[in-house]
Amino acid sequence: MLKISGLTKTYKTGDKALKNVSLEIPAGQVVGLIGPSGAGKSSLIRCINRLIEPTEGEIHLGALNVTKLSRSELRTARRRMGMIFQEYALVERLTVMENVLSGRLGYVPFWRSFFRRYSADYVANAFALLDRVGLMAHADKRADALSGGQRQRVGIARALGQDPELLLIDEPTASLDPKTSRQIMRLIVEVCRERGLPAIINIHDVLLAQAFVERIIGLRAGEVVFDGPPEALDTAALTRIYGEEDWEAMRKQASDDADEEREAAIERTRSEERMAGIA
State the maximum Cα–Cα separation within the chain, in Å, rounded to a whole number.
Answer: 66
Long-range own/partner contacts, residues 127-133 (CB < 8 A, 24 or more apart): 127/97, 129/100, 129/157, 129/160, 129/161, 130/96, 130/97, 130/100, 130/157, 132/157, 132/160, 132/191, 133/157, 133/187
Residue 259 has a CB neighbour count (10 Å cut-off) of 10
User: What was the pLDDT predicted at 32?
Assistant: 96
> Beta partners for 174?
none
Helices then strands, each counted (H, E), the chain: 10, 10
Q: What confidence score (pLDDT) does residue 85 get?
A: 82
- For the domain 2-245, what is the CATH code? 3.40.50.300
Residues whose CB is less than 8 angstroms from the CB of residue 85 and which lie 6 or more positions away in sequence, other chains included:
155, 170
Question: pLDDT tens-digit profile of 188-233?
Answer: 999 999 999 999 999 999 999 999 999 999 999 999 999 999 999 9
Domain-wise residue ranges, the chain: 2-245, 247-279
Give me Rg for the CA atoms of the chain.
20
Residues 37 and 218: their CA atoms lie apart, in Å, by 12
Q: Which residues of the chain have pLDDT under 70?
A: 88, 105-118, 245-279
Q: Which residues pair with 215 in a beta bridge?
A: 31
Q: Tell me, what's the pLDDT at 199? A: 96
DSSP-derived secondary structure for 147-203: -HHHHHHHHHHHHHHT--SEEEEE-TTTTS-HHHHHHHHHHHHHHHHHHT--EEEE-
Q: What is the pLDDT, as a whole number, of residue 7?
A: 96
